[in-house]
């Protein structure tokens, strides 16, 4: 799935993107313009870009509410959530915790995100 930020026409390929906007549902385009949730799985070669320039570009989208960064080397999830004032607040999750993606009303044990991916213990 390609994400394009409506006003600036940046094209990215996030690991997961969710749109709840009717304008994305009722289009013939093969990309979404109005993401609500974007998830990136961090790798050593992409982590800096995902946290820096890509995050800055994504923030230009008014529909976007949550940015989730999943560490692939250890059980660690960073969730940046836009608050009522428009500020991005970091919620950090680690082993034994329940991860919440408020923008799509979803929660699960963090270990579920890592099932069959890395050894937890």
Rounded CA Rg of the chain: 15
pLDDT by residue (tens digit) across 9-26?
667 888 888 888 788 787
Question: Can you spell out the DSSP letters for 88-102?
Answer: EEEEEEETTPEEEEG
Instruction: Give CA–CA dist 39/22, Å, rounded.
Output: 20
112 neighbors 100 (Cβ within 8 angstroms) = no
SS3 state of residue 58: helix
Q: So what's the pLDDT on residue 43?
A: 92
pLDDT by residue (tens digit) across 68-95?
999 998 999 999 999 999 999 999 999 9
pLDDT at 55 over 70: yes
pLDDT at 7 over 70: no
Q: What is the pTM of this model?
A: 0.86
Q: % helix / strand / coil in the chain, to the nearest 5?
A: 20, 35, 45
């Amino acid at each position: 799935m390609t994400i394009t930020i409506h006003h600036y026409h940046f094209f990215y390929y996030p690991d997961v993107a969710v749109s709840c906007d009717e304008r994305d549902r009722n289009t013939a385009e093969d990309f979404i313009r109005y993401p609500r949730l974007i998830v990136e799985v961090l790798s050593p070669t992409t982590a800096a870009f995902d946290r820096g320039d890509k995050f800055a570009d994504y923030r230009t989208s008014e529909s976007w509410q949550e940015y989730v960064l999943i560490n692939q080397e250890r059980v660690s999830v960073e969730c940046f959530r836009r608050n009522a004032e428009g500020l991005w607040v970091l919620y950090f999750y680690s082993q034994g915790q329940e991860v919440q993606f408020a923008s799509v009303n979803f929660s699960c044990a963090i270990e579920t995100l890592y099932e069959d991916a890395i050894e937890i213990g």
